[in-house]
Amino acid sequence: MFVSALEQARQNEQPTSVILGRISEEFVKQGDVAEAVSPLTQAIKQDPTSDELSERFWSPSQRQEIASHHVNLALTLVKLSQPDSAMKHLRWSFKISDSSPEARAIAGDLTWQIGIANEAIEHSQRALQLRPNLPQVMQQLSHNIETAKSTDHAPS
């Protein structure tokens, strides 16, 4: 199924990065997390460069699709115990498109786990700016602020 979708896209001269991104999502849904890395990496290689992103107009939905490749790779890398690489991809996704409250919530959780309290709080606050009604993020943010106040992780 995946091979035929890719081949059809190539024949129609359509970008295959979107299809590769969807393939990786299916691998993750099926529990084959390690298998998701390769199609996501291929999708990212086909995505526009930072120069291309700044040189022409990209619709918000196009930017979100491109950013989702980095967010999905970050989620995959978290599951593969590679938090530093995951954060690199999350940060890059925010440069492409900063409209995903889910991506910001993930970044908040991940930065908290690796001990970057200030950044974790900022990510959670941004997630709530994007979508104010995220009870789990509100609860996590409140917990993180209280914990940071009572430890040496206090935000500056």
Other Cβ atoms less than 10 A from the Cβ of 4: the count is 8
pLDDT digits (tens, 9 = 90+) for 20-57: 888 888 888 888 889 889 889 988 998 888 899 999 99
Quick: pLDDT tens for 66-119.
898 998 899 899 889 999 999 999 999 999 999 889 889 989 998 998 888 999
Read off the amino acid at residue 80: L
Would you say residue 11 has pLDDT above 80? Answer: no
Closest to 92 measured CA to CA, from 102, 103, 101: 103
Q: Provide the token pair at 18.
A: 């979107």
